Amino acid sequence: MSDDYRDDEFSFMSEHRQYLQDIEKEKQLEEERAREKARLEKEARLKAQREQNKAPAVHPPYGKPYKTDRKIKAPVKKQAQKPQSPPPVKKPLSEEEIKRRKELERRKAAQRKANEERLRRQRAEEQRKREELKRKKAEEKRRYKVANKETAKTRRSAFLNAMSAFLVVVLISGAVLFGISYLIFRLSFASNGSDDVDGYTYTVNGEEKYIKSDISFRGGTVYICADDIANMCNLTVAGDKNEIKYISPGIGNETASFIVGTRRAFVNKTEIRLCADTFVENERFYVPLEFFENYMYGISIAHDEIQRTVAVTKVIINQTDVSVLGAAAKYADITYKIKPADVILSLDENALDEAVGNFNYKINIEEYAQYINPKSLFEYTDVINSSNPADGEYLFTDLISAPKKSDRVSGEIQLRECAAKALEAMLLEANENGLSRIYVFRGYVTDSELSKNAKDKEYTSLYGKTEYDEHRLGLTAELYYKYRDMSFEETESFRWLRENAHKFGFVLRYPKDKENKTGVDYRPWSFRFVGRYNAVKMYEENLCLEEYVQKYLDR
């Protein structure tokens, strides 16, 4: 309670006491006046009686004297009635007097209301204090009961602890003996069957199984049963004991075939080399895990080398709806990384080097050569634009972090491995040429990220509709020097990129003079990875990606 409220309360009590005292004094004065009036009347009667007693006695007729104690009434003289004066005429009150009386009444009413409010607040405060005191007493009583219960519980616990001390010692001793025995057993088992201990535990589509080391791990290579993957992904199995083929469901019927007992394999009729030989054991076909990690889309693989576990699941494309809304899961299509169109030309690396010529690099290009000039010539030439919109989410297993991410961007920027490594080489070469301030602003984007920006007018004005955004492919990187706008065109960094990007497999995705072909305004900051073979041809013939695909690939 505030001090102002206490002052008002004390003032009210003082005024109330003073009011009661004034009333009491008025009553005393009235009583004194009444007693004084009665005394004066009594004295007047006594005086009149004494005067009457002093008067001479007068005998009545017939000689009978008056009684001495008889009161003789004096004759009453009739007084002439005075004419009654007319009642005084009340003088009408002036307006000021009326206002003054109303104001006085209003003040008295306000004072009465204030006094009532103070009294009410005082009673409420007293009630609150009584309730608070009652609550404290109840709380003390409850604590007392709890304390008694805890004391009783403590006594019981102490008794039980004292009684069970011997049993605890016995149990600990038994546990130690059991642990020693189990350790001896495990050591003996490990010495007799080390292959089983060092094996791998596989979880394929939620089903867990253990495979011994001599099957799951050979020559430093982790193997997985391709039959389990085929069952999970509904792949059709064909072939014989020499060649086994797995055909994916859906449109296209993409195939992956393996020459049993060798490293040779074919993905959509394009030959590849595995890291180790395939083999058959107990009528089950085993393939290096590396193949499914690098060449198959639509599955997710979690490999833990320390725990020796491999978990394989199908990729769910509506994970948010499943987890939030409880919708039925929709799985990504099972496809292979190398597409049938990639076999249009059958050129090896040496032929490609002759076709595009040799370039002089200031950096050691050897470790980046396999990424800049990939063997799969046309894997990175897919086009997404207004004429060929995306028909779903693009999922990749070879996404890695992009180099030199801009500090203005939160989170990780990712690109597919060949694009990210080639970009890293290009930025290192630029640095050797004195251009060190080129940063990556944007890379691969997912459907969920695009959906968040679908209603952003600034975003759609820059990139268009989300289904036309080629960043879905994980091959386009946005580069800039200071600002991501047309001012980048005036920088030395852009001029160097325009003249040298093709040496690293990149092209300017939306050139200035190709808007009618690309359907997108000129963007000097957007560079697309297509591989060095394609990039050099596009650079030499001044073709944009749409023109190059139409001229050479017709797809």
Domain interval for residue 147 = 118-162
Written as one string, the DSSP assignment of 85-153 is PPPPPPPPPPHHHHHHHHHHHHHHHHHHHHHHHHHHHHHHHHHHHHHHHHHHHHHHHHHHHHHHHHHHH
CATH no. for residue 362? 3.30.1380.10
Average pLDDT score, the chain: 80
Written as one string, the DSSP assignment of 140-162 is HHHHHHHHHHHHHHHHHHHHHHH
Which residues contact residue 539 at a Cβ distance below 8 angstroms, ignoring those fewer than 6 apart? 502, 507
Question: Is 472 among the domain residues?
Answer: yes
| Per-residue pLDDT at 251 exceeds 60 | no
Indicate if 131 and 177 belong to the same structural domain.
no
How far, in Å, CA of 463 to CA of 466, rounded? 8
**pLDDT more than 70, % of the chain:** 80
Written as one string, the DSSP assignment of 182-214 is HHHHHHHHHHH-HHHHT-EEEEETTEEEEE-HH
Indicate if 307 and 416 belong to the same structural domain.
no
Residue 462: per-residue pLDDT: 58
| Per-residue pLDDT at 368 exceeds 50 | yes
How far, in Å, CA of 55 to CA of 479, rounded? 145
Q: Tokens for 39?
A: 């005394």
CATH no. for residue 288? 3.30.457.10
pLDDT tens string 284-310:
899 998 898 888 888 888 888 888 888
Q: Which of 137-151, 180-194, 386-400, 435-449 has the lowest mean pLDDT?
A: 180-194
Of the three residues 325, 350, 365, the one that is the final residue of a domain is 325
Q: Which of 11-25, 41-55, 108-122, 454-468 has the lowest mean pLDDT?
A: 454-468
pLDDT tens string 453-495:
666 655 555 565 777 888 889 999 999 876 667 888 888 999 9
Burial class of residue 262 in the structure, from the number of CB atoms within 10 Å of its CB (0-12 exposed, 13-18 middle, 19+ buried)? middle
Amino acid identity at 336 = Y
Among 46-55, 226-235, 405-414, the range of highest mean pLDDT: 226-235
More confident residue, 347 or 286: 286
Which of 373, 491, 399 has the alpha carbon at shortest distance from 439? 491
Q: Tokens for 74?
A: 């004096």
Identify the residue whose tokens are 């982790």.
222
Indicate if 317 and 416 belong to the same structural domain.
no
pLDDT tens string 142-201:
888 887 777 777 888 788 887 878 788 888 888 888 878 777 766 655 444 444 446 888
pLDDT tens string 5-20:
455 555 667 777 888 8
| DSSP assigned state of 316 | B
49 confidence band (pLDDT: 50, 70, 90) = confident
| Per-residue pLDDT at 234 exceeds 90 | no
Cβ atoms within 10 A of the Cβ of 401, count? 13
| Per-residue pLDDT at 222 exceeds 50 | yes
Indicate if 192 and 270 belong to the same structural domain.
no
499 confidence band (pLDDT: 50, 70, 90) = very high
Indicate if 281 and 362 belong to the same structural domain.
no
Question: Is 25 among the domain residues?
Answer: no
| Per-residue pLDDT at 117 exceeds 80 | yes
